[in-house]
Structure 1
Amino acid sequence: MSDLGRKNFNDKVSEAVTPESNKSALEKAKEQVTDKVDQFAAKATPDEQKSFGQTVADKAKEGHEDAKAEVSNNQESLADTATAYIDAAKEQVGNAANYISGVVTGATEGAKTGADSTKK
């Protein structure tokens, strides 16, 4: 049973389990419109005026949306952290390459100087 202006819970479940590829353009458009009307009605109706079922469904939907937002926020911060680590690693690889280049150059020059001194 649904409250006035609200989408029936059974319809919501049916729409959710039906693959998008099996829905016509008209069915998809109808779902979008009825979802928006249902969202508006959920926000416009105070909890104390909703049936128990609608209240539970609205709270579950709200929790789902909050969880999705939290995951999205965490993904952004994880991506930022990963980027920072990658940038730091690149810098350290560059420093290591410069150090090795200096060591090799110094060893090469030392070997050349040593070789030149034995020729004299």
Structure 2
Amino acid sequence: MGVLAYILGRETLIIVNPGPSDPHGDPTGQDDRTIVPGCNVQPAGSNEVLDGRDTVTTRMRVFAPSWAPVTATSRVEWNQQTWHVEGSPGSWSDPAGTPHHLEFLITRTTG
């Protein structure tokens, strides 16, 4: 397979993982930021709550290369906004068993 077989989309994400922290959980260093090109981001629904204020939670489904350093605690910068990873990413393999891509949800809440 050529390189083009592994390009899932045209979106570039920045995966942000928390940096080191002290025993109390306070940050002691900078976050780790990784640029991940070749991603696909698709709408996965939204939810609106009108209880004293208008709160909207938007979800997007992301398909990213298998090497992307995404965990349940990662943040994602995409489309000039910061999103949070929801749950643990799922890993998909090709028919030969080689890791091919990751699939995960990102959420953003406003209001």
Scaled by the length of structure 2, the TM-score of the pair is 0.19
Q: Which is richer in strand?
A: 2
TM-score by length of 1: 0.18
Structure with the larger helix share: 1
Larger Rg: 1
